Structure 1
């Protein structure tokens, strides 16, 4: 069986370092917002090229706290509209709703799966912010979207939950907008051994407010200045993330190598391969192809012992939780969600496994 993602194999590379770090943390006994969190926040901010990083409990909280932070600073008001891609993971939209803002869904580019400046303009929304999702690890058209946001005085926020280490001419994911949210869910390119998230920004006021919001609205114990939440990156997970951060660039390089083999050697008219321009703007959190008959294709993969996943089978506006949007139509998004399937790709995938996937797909 060729696993879709072998987390045991990925994390066993760091087992001895994890054990040493766990022992030190156990002795230190500072489990909440301790030195491991401070160290990782500094390291990850530096990695992204940003001035500030604030660890959170998960990626959804990271996005939500960015929006709540801007409301606290008076940059957004409840009821303001926020442009989001219609084909994103539901968490992006939930963050907008949890912040008492209004999501405006727009269609993605059918090749890159990301929103573009054209789709943003076509929405004609009287929005106050844009959340650009670097879906599957590929950066959006950052330069054009950033210029549009600055020209129209819109806040630009990155949902970089799948794009750790992706970069373009303007910089790294996490430093090409006003603020960015990351997830460290175990399957991510930089994944914890549990849940976790972070926010990066160059706005000192935003960082300060988010540090309050994540910790009950407090900067001093038992003194609460604003209505806050409990959303803190776990100190032990921060320690593990610091260890894994050192291998992130190498892991992303390996993912791109595998993607290039797939793109150059898979040759089957029944399978639409993803768009990739060959640069570091893609870190291939997922390698997503499209097929017309997904049930038949997945059965074929099962019969040939190749694991797969679907990111994601149901578009957000068709989810029961978002029934308020069910009357809307997004044909591009709906077509994408009917056809996509993610193939195995990870830094520990062996060359013979990659070739086996190519062989099986070419024989479909």
Structure 2
């Protein structure tokens, strides 16, 4: 019996064409799904690069290339975000010795695009002193600005909690000869992160005194001092002062009533002609004031004029930063966010 060789030759050809068509269809489906997946996850499209410049508060980072949304972190804590395509945008980072800046992509991969250790003097702010209270060295409060303004503990050691020191009213730190790395200080910024356990007594957070020059930050109970127009015992009024010791406290300004038992950041700044106080980044008061500014004995947690005998702090201090430059609103805001 004969065989139709023509039919046998056509069948494989048709099969191959159908197979190719199926492969093309599958490929189109996979490509479509892949694009949909990438749109949903925001895969990184480029690395980020920055230029750095020192400012009084720390490093200013300017994005020279930015192809994906990123978060800028300081020691693992978010400072700000920059969106893709915002080349030329600058952000302030309040850097200190030993800090770490990390830039992380905001996509699902969370890629680390920049990791920078802060080690050089020209990469930090205009520090006089910097105390983290994270750990002590025996009875010593370490100055992490590398300016050797270490503090000595007086009274019985209470507790280093890991990220603060807890004062009980019987202990305080003294820096016997606070000094700045510049020849003359004509303006300054003082920042403290703290929490008080009591609102019934006047308490000193930190105070400097040298001759007739006196400046610092203290808290006064609203009930006893009528400083808040509030007669409750669970509020107090922080104030920043720069004046003559034992004088009229003409440079004293208040931050308004604040709750007991809540962590807060108070920043006082003096620009040579006026003082200003901020609470949690918000400006609360300002006043004209002119005086020479000196360094010298510096006390933390007690009254400098009567150290160890009155107005001692009952609460915790988490961080203190002292700079030899006055800060503006933006610099205070970024510093507050870093200290919260």
- TM-score of the superposition, structure 2-length normalised? 0.24
TM (norm. structure 1) is 0.23
Larger radius of gyration: 2
Question: Using CA pairs below 8 Å that are at least 6 residues apart, which structure has the higher relative contact order?
Answer: 1
Structure number with the higher strand fraction is 2
